[in-house]
Structure 1
Amino acid sequence: MKASIVVAQIPITWDIAENLSTIAAVLADAQPDEIVVLPEGALSGYGSDLSVLSRLDPTALARAIDYVTTLVREKAVHLFCGSLLFEHGAWWNTALYFSPHGTRWTYRKINLAMNERGLLEAGSELPTLQLHLADGPLTVGVQICREIRFPEQWQYLAGAGAQAFIYLTHAANPTEPAGVWRSHLISRAAENQRFVLAANVADPHQHCPSVIISPRGESLAELPANSAGILRATIDTDEAASWYLGQRRRDVVHLRYQNRPTEQAFGQF
Structure 2
Amino acid sequence: MKQAVVVAQVPVSWDIEQNLRYVREAIGQSRAGDLILLPEGMLSGYGDDLSPLDDAARAETVTRAADAVAELAERRGVHVFCGSLIRDQDAWWNAALYFGPHGERWHYRKINLAMGERGRLRAGDQLAPVSLGTVTVGVQICRELRFPEQWRHLVDAGAEVLVYLTHAANPAEAAGVWRSHLISRAAENQRFVLACNVAEPLQHCPSMIISPRGEVLAETSSTAVEILRSTIDLDQIGNWYLDQRRDLSHL
**TM-score scaled by structure 2?**
0.97
Match of 2:123 in 1: 122
The partner residue of 1:144 within 141, 144, 151 is: 141
Distance 1:106 1:253 in 2: 34
**TM-score scaled by structure 1?**
0.91
Matched residue SS, 1:171: coil
1:171 aligns with 2:168: yes
Tell me if structure 1 keeps the 8 A contact 2:135–2:160.
yes
Work out the percentage of aligned pairs sharing the same amino acid.
59
Deviations 1:220-252, CA, capped at 9 Å, x for gaps: 0111332210000000011111111111111x1
Match of 2:202 in 1: 205
Matched residue SS, 1:141: strand
Q: Which letter does structure 2 place at the counterpart of 1:130?
A: S
The Cα RMSD (Å) is 1.0
Aligned residues: 249
CA shift, 1:89, in A, is 1.1
Match of 1:228 in 2: 225
Distance 1:15 1:29 in 2: 22
Match of 1:29 in 2: 29
Match of 2:48 in 1: 48
Matched residue SS, 1:172: coil
Distance 1:169 1:241 in 2: 26
Distance 2:174 2:207 in 1: 17
Name structure 2 gaps, 5 residues minimum: none
Match of 2:76 in 1: 75
Matched residue SS, 1:177: coil
Distance 1:217 1:129 in 2: 23
Name structure 1 gaps, 5 residues minimum: 255-269
Deviations 1:67-104, CA, capped at 9 Å, x for gaps: 11111111010000000000111100000000001121
Distance 1:21 1:46 in 2: 16
The alpha-carbon distance between structure 1 residues 207 and 225, as it changes in their structure 2 partners (threshold 3 A), is: farther
The alpha-carbon distance between structure 1 residues 97 and 54, as it changes in their structure 2 partners (threshold 3 A), is: same
Distance 2:242 2:154 in 1: 12
CA shift, 1:253, in A, is 4.2
